[in-house]
């Protein structure tokens, strides 16, 4: 272990308290600290107001002429305003929905505000108040901090640490790569991330570090695949084709040709001794569950056990239900194991699992607990794979003699990203919906039109149909989510009383409470279900034909699409109503696209084009690897180059023994063992 891998407590002046604060930012080692890069740079050069372009983002320094005034308006919205003397001019500053900044604005105390300049009105729409001392450099790095540590404190700490430890930084990339792509040395690059001399300097640093990230990632992916292949051979699941056909014949519908194709692909994997590592992608409603059921049954006919792991209890119960129905006339024993399974029942399930009496087990995280032991596990399927970390999946896989693994996901990842994101995984795609589906009709309305929409819903409910109302995600706080959902729930309960019953579902409820509400909705005891996004994945209530999504512009397109997939599951026409008043052109464009297409792949490509993957996939749910510096979209060409070079390197025999590749090999090995790149 090098010095840089030591804890930050080694740094002078960093005591236990500081260590804790740094840990809260994800910084544990000295290495973490010096590679904790700014997420943006502000141009804080002092500009004359007349030089600033309209809509340009700038930092203005000045003296407030008075305290800030806060006005509350509309639905939980507020506006904070004050006037500020900047040089000789009076500028008006407005912050939206940041009333908490009020205390920071004091008359005649110097202040620096970062925001967008409106040249005509001579006003600034504030985004952030920054420490005035930051204005010392023209191109000032801004770091993510939290309540426990200030920007300036962190900058000072990084500077001090850098001065002491910069000589410990080793080059990771071999010379031939540095030369081939004219990349900056690692040490210079880190320095230019924190303390750039020029913008160009900083861009070169980014380029170098992004390349390194991509390259190491690709090397690791290839290594993993090789490990898996050289390990013990996968199982050969000799399933009974006749039996499988007998099951297919009992289905109330014909499989789509896409379903047939992917079932064939999966079956070929099952039979072969090579290890299955396959991703099944299919849009919401494309019929993945039945494919999973068929794969599990094939496994059972070969005398093996199958496991289906899902992220939520509701989903587990639902899969349990569909599978039970699927196997009605077949001799298959299925069990459900979740954290609410009672101790006695659990004991029995575990015993039957070891004894091989249970053929298929459906469950949540409970399936990867240590006490869950299989007799002969042949196939593991995880639904909505992005919710599980790689480690969790690995644990489950290790429960058997190297069973085949199938990941299912409805997140339509654009093809261009899929290769890089899923690396060496095989991909099956269901690119066709069952015939006879009536496409969901999506409309976009403004908040003031909600009551009209509610009356339309009432009409549909009188015909016996049911409705979802989805409440926005408020990123800052789960408590706000709940409060907001509760308010909407109360309003609707009032609106629809006494003819219809309204239920509420949110993330803070206990699993049992959720279950009660969910089953009441399924039984049509509740006609309206108000919910935060907990219903996002997999819920199947075909009688629910309308979904209204409040503040729809707060969601990514992919998530809207997922949510929308909860309706349109039956034979009746269904509707999705987006309620939003986006301000930007792009926001409007996004709502429009939703009304124009129901094709998840098209949406994902469109969204990617407009906003980049981070925005599209939302926070950490994407299943895409996260890079510190690299941007999979903006730097996609570099990603390709890194991939090509990684493949080339692995094609050289024992490349890791060459002296020039030593540091690379060390990095790779170190990281591979700690890696959890899908989270």
Q: Name which position in 256, 305, 341, 366 contacts ligand ADP (CB under 6 A).
A: 256
DSSP assignment of 31-88, as one string?
HHHHT---SEEEE-----GGGSPTT-EEEEEEEESS--EEEEETTTEEEEEEEEEETT
CB of 322 to ligand ADP, least distance (A): 7
CB of 289 to ligand ADP, least distance (A): 3
Which tokens is 470 given? Answer: 């989805």
User: Residue 211 or 297: which CB sits closer to ligand ADP?
Assistant: 297
Which residues are CB-contacts of 588 (< 8 A; sequence separation ≥ 6)?
582
Is the C-alpha dihedral spanning 382, 386, 388, 393 positive or negative? positive
Do residues 545 and 571 touch, judged by C-beta distance below 8 A?
no
Please report which helix (H) or strand (E) contains residue 519, including its range. helix 511-522
Which tokens is 30 given? Answer: 């000295």
259 contributes a contact to ligand ADP by CB under 6 A: yes
Binding mask 286-315 for ligand ADP (x = CB under 6 A): xxxxx-------------------------
User: Residue 222 or 308: which CB sits closer to Mg ion?
Assistant: 308
403 contributes a contact to Mg ion by CB under 5 A: no
Contact range with ligand ADP by CB under 6 A, out of 6-14, 255-263, 341-349, 445-453: 255-263
350 contributes a contact to ligand ADP by CB under 6 A: no
User: Residue 123 or 524: which CB sits closer to ligand ADP?
Assistant: 524
Q: Which of ligand ADP, Mg ion, none is residue 503 near (CB under 5 to 8 Å by kind)?
A: none
Contact range with ligand ADP by CB under 6 A, out of 5-13, 252-260, 414-422, 509-517: 252-260
Binding mask 541-570 for ligand ADP (x = CB under 6 A): ----------------------------x-
Which residues in 403-427 are b (16+ Cβ under 10 Å) and which e?
bbbbbbbbbbbbeebbebbbbebeb
Residue 140 CB neighbour total at 10 angstroms: 21
- Distance separating alpha carbons of residues 404 and 389, to the nearest angstrom: 18
CB of 289 to Mg ion, least distance (A): 5
DSSP state of 657: G
Q: Left, alpha or beta for 495 (phi > 0: left; psi -120 to 50: alpha)?
A: alpha
- Distance separating alpha carbons of residues 251 and 391, to the nearest angstrom: 36
253 contributes a contact to ligand ADP by CB under 6 A: yes
Which residues are CB-contacts of 408 (< 8 A; sequence separation ≥ 6)?
279, 280, 281, 282, 288, 291, 292, 381, 382, 383, 384, 385
Residues 131-150 within binding reach of ligand ADP (CB under 6 A)? none
Q: Which residue in 178, 181, 206 sits closest to 192, CA to CA?
A: 206
End-to-end CA distance of the chain: 25
Which tokens is 520 given? Answer: 């009441």
Q: Name which position in 285, 414, 556, 623 contacts ligand ADP (CB under 6 A).
A: 285
DSSP state of 368: G
Q: Which residue has the closest beta carbon to Mg ion? A: 538
123 contributes a contact to ligand ADP by CB under 6 A: no
Q: Name which position in 282, 423, 568, 613 contacts ligand ADP (CB under 6 A).
A: 282
Q: Which residue in 622, 447, 414, 412 sits closest to 552, CA to CA?
A: 447
CB of 94 to Mg ion, least distance (A): 45
Contact range with Mg ion by CB under 5 A, out of 32-40, 64-72, 195-203, 283-291: 283-291
User: Residue 207 or 288: which CB sits closer to Mg ion?
Assistant: 288
Which tokens is 378 given? Answer: 């042949």
Beta-bridged to residue 86, according to DSSP, are 89
CB-count exposure of residue 509 (10 Å: 0-12, 13-18, 19+) = middle
Beta-bridged to residue 145, according to DSSP, are none
User: Residue 212 or 265: which CB sits closer to ligand ADP?
Assistant: 265
User: Residue 39 or 253: which CB sits closer to ligand ADP?
Assistant: 253
How many residues contact Mg ion, by CB under 5 A? 2
Contact range with Mg ion by CB under 5 A, out of 2-10, 280-288, 393-401, 669-677: 280-288
User: Residue 193 or 529: which CB sits closer to ligand ADP?
Assistant: 529
Binding mask 482-521 for ligand ADP (x = CB under 6 A): ----------------------------------------
* Max CA separation in the chain (angstroms): 87
Contact range with Mg ion by CB under 5 A, out of 100-108, 198-206, 221-229, 535-543: 535-543
Q: Name which position in 58, 158, 410, 544 contacts ligand ADP (CB under 6 A).
A: 410
Q: Name which position in 173, 237, 284, 471 contacts ligand ADP (CB under 6 A).
A: 284
Q: Name which position in 127, 149, 255, 427 contacts ligand ADP (CB under 6 A).
A: 255
Please report which helix (H) or strand (E) contains residue 544, including its range. strand 544-549
For β-strands 111-118 and 57-64, DSSP reports them as antiparallel
Contact range with ligand ADP by CB under 6 A, out of 283-291, 302-310, 523-531, 625-633: 283-291
How many residues contact ligand ADP, by CB under 6 A? 16
Q: Name which position in 403, 503, 538, 556 contacts Mg ion (CB under 5 A).
A: 538
Is the C-alpha dihedral spanning 100, 102, 103, 104 positive or negative? positive
Q: Which of Mg ion, ligand ADP, none is residue 100 near (CB under 5 to 8 Å by kind)?
A: none
Contact range with ligand ADP by CB under 6 A, out of 83-91, 180-188, 281-289, 571-579: 281-289
Binding mask 517-546 for ligand ADP (x = CB under 6 A): -----------------------x------
Q: At how many degrees (to 10) do helices 313-326 and 288-301 cross? A: 60
Residues 434-453 within binding reach of ligand ADP (CB under 6 A)? 434
Contact range with ligand ADP by CB under 6 A, out of 15-23, 175-183, 250-258, 607-615: 250-258
Please report which helix (H) or strand (E) contains residue 185, including its range. none
Given the rule CB under 5 A, which residues bind Mg ion?
Answer: 288, 538
Given the rule CB under 6 A, which residues bind ligand ADP?
Answer: 253, 255-256, 259, 282, 284-290, 410, 434, 540, 569
């Amino acid at each position: 272990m090098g010095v840089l891998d030591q804890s930050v407590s080694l740094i002078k002046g960093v005591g236990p308290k500081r260590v804790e604060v740094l840990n809260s930012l994800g910084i544990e080692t000295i290495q973490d600290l010096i590679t904790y890069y700014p997420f943006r740079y502000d141009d804080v050069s002092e500009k004359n107001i007349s030089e600033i372009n309209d809509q340009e983002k700038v930092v203005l320094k000045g003296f407030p002429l008075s305290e800030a005034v806060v006005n509350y308006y509309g639905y939980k919205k507020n506006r904070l305003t004050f006037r500020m003397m900047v040089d000789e001019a009076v500028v008006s500053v407005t912050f939206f929905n940041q009333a908490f900044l009020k205390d920071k604005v004091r008359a005649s105390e110097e202040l620096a505000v970062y925001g967008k300049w409106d040249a005509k009105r001579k006003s600034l729409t504030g985004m952030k108040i920054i420490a005035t001392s930051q204005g010392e450099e023209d191109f000032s790095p801004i770091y993510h901090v939290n309540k426990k540590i200030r920007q300036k404190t962190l900058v000072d700490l990084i500077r001090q640490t850098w001065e002491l430890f910069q000589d410990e930084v080793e080059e990771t990339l071999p010379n031939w790569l540095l030369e081939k792509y004219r990349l900056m040395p690692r040490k210079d690059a880190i320095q230019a991330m924190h303390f750039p001399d020029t913008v160009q300097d900083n861009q070169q640093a980014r380029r170098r570090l992004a390349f390194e990230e991509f390259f190491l990632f690709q090397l690791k992916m290839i290594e993993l695949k090789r490990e898996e292949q050289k390990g013990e051979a996968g199982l050969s699941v000799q399933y009974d084709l006749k039996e499988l056909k007998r099951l297919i014949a009992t289905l109330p519908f014909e499989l789509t040709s896409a379903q047939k194709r992917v079932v064939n692909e999966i079956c070929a994997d099952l039979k072969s001794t090579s290890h299955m590592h396959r991703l099944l992608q299919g849009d919401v409603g494309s019929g993945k569950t039945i494919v999973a059921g068929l794969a599990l049954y094939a496994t059972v006919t070969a005398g093996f056990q199958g496991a289906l792991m899902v992220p939520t209890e509701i989903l587990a119960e639902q899969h349990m239900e569909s599978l039970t129905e699927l196997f009605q006339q077949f001799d298959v024993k299925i069990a459900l194991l979740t954290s609410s399974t009672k101790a006695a029942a659990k004991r029995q399930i575990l015993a039957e699992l070891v004894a091989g009496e249970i053929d298929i087990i459906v469950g949540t995280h409970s399936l990867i607990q240590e006490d869950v032991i299989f007799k002969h596990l042949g196939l593991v399927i995880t639904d909505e794979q992005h919710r599980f970390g790689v480690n969790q999946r690995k644990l489950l896989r290790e429960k058997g003699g190297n069973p085949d693994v199938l990941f299912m996901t409805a997140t339509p990842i654009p093809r261009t990203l899929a290769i890089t994101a899923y690396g060496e995984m095989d991909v099956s795609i269901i690119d066709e919906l069952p015939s006879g589906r009536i496409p969901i009709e999506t409309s976009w309305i403004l908040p003031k039109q909600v009551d009209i929409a509610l009356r339309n819903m009432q009409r549909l409910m009188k015909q016996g149909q049911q409705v979802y109302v989805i409440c926005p995600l408020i990123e800052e706080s789960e408590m706000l989510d709940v409060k907001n959902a509760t308010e909407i729930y109360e309003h609707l309960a009032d609106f629809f009383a006494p003819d219809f019953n309204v239920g509420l579902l949110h993330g803070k409820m206990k699993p049992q409470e959720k279950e009660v509400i969910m089953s009441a909705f399924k039984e049509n005891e509740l006609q309206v279900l108000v919910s935060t996004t907990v219903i996002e994945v997999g819920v199947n209530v075909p009688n629910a034909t309308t979904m209204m999504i409040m503040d729809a512009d707060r969601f990514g397109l992919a998530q809207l699409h997922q949510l929308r997939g909860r309706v349109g599951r039956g034979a009746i026409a269904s509707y999705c109503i987006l309620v939003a008043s986006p301000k930007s052109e792009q926001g409007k464009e996004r709502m429009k696209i939703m009304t124009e297409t129901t094709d998840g792949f098209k949406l994902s490509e469109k969204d990617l084009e407009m906003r980049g993957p981070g925005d599209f996939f939302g926070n950490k749910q994407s299943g895409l690897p996260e890079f510190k510096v690299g941007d999979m979209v903006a730097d996609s060409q570099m990603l390709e180059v890194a991939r090509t070079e990684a493949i080339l390197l692995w094609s050289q025999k024992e490349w890791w023994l060459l002296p020039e590749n030593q540091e690379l090999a060390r990095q790779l090995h170190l990281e591979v063992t700690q890696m959890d790149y899908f989270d």
